[in-house]
Structure 1
Amino acid sequence: MRTLIVDDSRLARTELRHLLGAFPDVTVVGEARHAAEARELLTTVRPDLLLLDIHMPSETGFELLASLEAAPQVVFTTAYDEYALQAFEVNALDYLLKPIQEVRLAAALQKVQARLAPAEHRPAVVAKPAPEAPALSTLTEQDQVFVKDGEQCWFVRLAEVRLFEINGSYTQIYFDQHRPLIPRTLQHLEQRLDTRTFFRANRQQIINLNWVESIEPWFSNTLKIRLRGGPEVEVSRQQSGRFRELLSL
């Protein structure tokens, strides 16, 4: 389990590294003193796990996560207990209070191993390069993204997102009962998403093919698709032809 430690305290980083030495399956691949340093390391060391402090200079741990397009598994390590609810609202796997006890660390690592086990044969979910970088890797349905909308935050696996839809200068994403807005264009998302799973239905919408519930003919040789959990999506004439070829209809 490749682990990145992010904490502004040198003593805290040293103590965590010492504690992790008791777990042979854990490899510390780097340390960061603040969010900017962590952001750089995430693109190069490709960790499975982020041991993340909350209070740091310039940016908090939550702000670091909000700046990432995708993130590894996260366990918060902090001296403050008042952020526990917020941590679990973003689907962090655990929340360890300093001084960290080895038994609590062991329990947290077991949770991480359980989460990673089904995906042990695929690359870890990591932060991707900035959009203008020349080599952008594809985001698959197994990747998870951090979404922040106002005061609410989520870690969302792309497999759970059934629809991306233009909403003004933002994109609205549909998962569970939520519809937060993200500061990404649909064109940017189309370039990043795996075309085996995500299909551009029209100028306004990208659908997750695994969420298609029914397909019916519509006007002018187009198609109308109903997604599980809604809504209905009208496929443009050009894309209807591509959709039929894709599914051999």
Structure 2
Amino acid sequence: MSIRLRALIIDDEELARRLSKEYLRSHADIDIVGECENGLEAIEAITAQQPDLIFLDIQMPKLNGFEVLEATGRREGVIFTTAYDQYALKAFDQHAVDYLLKPYSQQRFDDALNKARKLLGQTSTEVIDLVAHTNAMPERLTVRDRGQTHVIPIAQIDYIEAQDDYVQIHFNGKSLLKTQSLSDLEKQLNPTLFVRIHRSTIIRLQALKCLERASKDSYQAVMLNGVILPISRSGYDRIKGML
């Protein structure tokens, strides 16, 4: 007996969504649980439906496909569908199931589905990792908080602090908690714009006002918003080399 898979179609073009549904008609083991036309809708649908399989466009209004994955922490069952070939390497770096370049045929679509079936039948956590190994440096961060999705432009971030299993992102006079380690988030940030000044703190260099001596052997960072943050010895060496 074959396992039934629940699929979500995400694309801002109605014709593209219609084509995916048409191609899926010949696959009796696939149930379509919904369709979305922008990134914010996609985040809500993925969170609510928890589909086994996602057909995901990349360039969409509000949030792109990669940002949707980052916001939801999606780790498996993603088939990219896009008209742009320049994102292929990034998609496969993230271990996507497949990358369908529009316009694609029924046969090409079926091949991608067969790959997905094989991968989804495996239980190893090493099969797919869509987020942790990405080399992308996003221009925005997305944070889920109390049922809402917040989009934080990188340019508005002042500093980021580790809080147990979370990071607290301080930006534009506000702060939000995100479920992620500081080390993992650091890998996503542009090292020419951000620097880790302490084991628990990363700052954006343009949000820094000045460095001042806290004691004979230590310094602290004075931010433009008035916050004062401690700097470790290794952190001082890193930031000194960037100023």
Task: Tell me the TM-score normalised to structure 2 length.
Answer: 0.53
Is 2:22 the counterpart of 1:18?
yes
Bigger Rg, which one: 2
Match of 1:113 among 104, 117, 137: 117
For the pair 1:100 / 2:104, whether they are aligned, the reply is: yes
User: Would you say 1:83 and 2:80 are equivalent positions?
Assistant: no
1:172-187 alignment runs, 5 A limit: 172=183, 180=187
Structure 2, gaps ≥5 residues long: 139-163, 170-180, 190-199, 201-243
Give the root-mean-square deviation of aligned CA atoms. Answer: 3.4
1:72 Cα deviation from its structure 2 partner: 3.7
Determine the C-alpha separation between the residues in 1 that align with 2:136 and 2:128: 23
In structure 2, give the amino acid aligned to 1:151.
Answer: M
Number of positions where the alignment pairs a residue of Structure 1 with one of Structure 2: 149
Find the counterpart in structure 1 of residue 131 from structure 2.
Answer: 146
- The 8 Å contact of residues 171 and 181 in structure 1, kept in 2 or not, is answered as no
Structure in which a larger fraction of residues adopt strand: 2
Q: For 1:2, what is the secondary structure of its paired residue?
A: strand
Determine the C-alpha separation between the residues in 2 that align with 1:141 and 1:110: 19
- The change in CA–CA distance for 1:99 and 1:25 in structure 2 (over 3 A counts) is same
Which residue identity does 1:171 align to in structure 2? L
**Secondary structure, counterpart of 2:9 in structure 1:** strand
The residue number in structure 2 matching 1:7 is 11
CA contact (8 A) 1:70 1:143 kept: no
Question: Deviation above 4 Å: which 4+ runs of structure 1?
Answer: 140-145, 164-170
Contact kept in structure 2, 1:172 and 1:181, CA below 8 Å: no
Shift of 1:119: 3.8
Seen in structure 2, the aligned counterparts of structure 1 residues 143 and 82 have a Cα distance that, compared at 3 Å, is closer
Structure 1 residue ranges without an equivalent (≥5): 121-139, 153-163, 174-178, 183-203, 205-249
Distance in 1 (CA, whole Å) between partners of 2:89 and 2:118 is: 22
Distance 1:66 1:86 in 2: 13
Distance in 2, Cα, partners of 1:145 & 1:29: 22
Cα drift, residue 149 of structure 1: 5.8
Q: Which residue of 2 aligns with 1:62?
A: 66
Q: Which amino acid is 2:131 matched to? A: F
Distance 1:150 1:111, change over 3 A: closer
One-letter identity of the residue aligned with 1:172: S
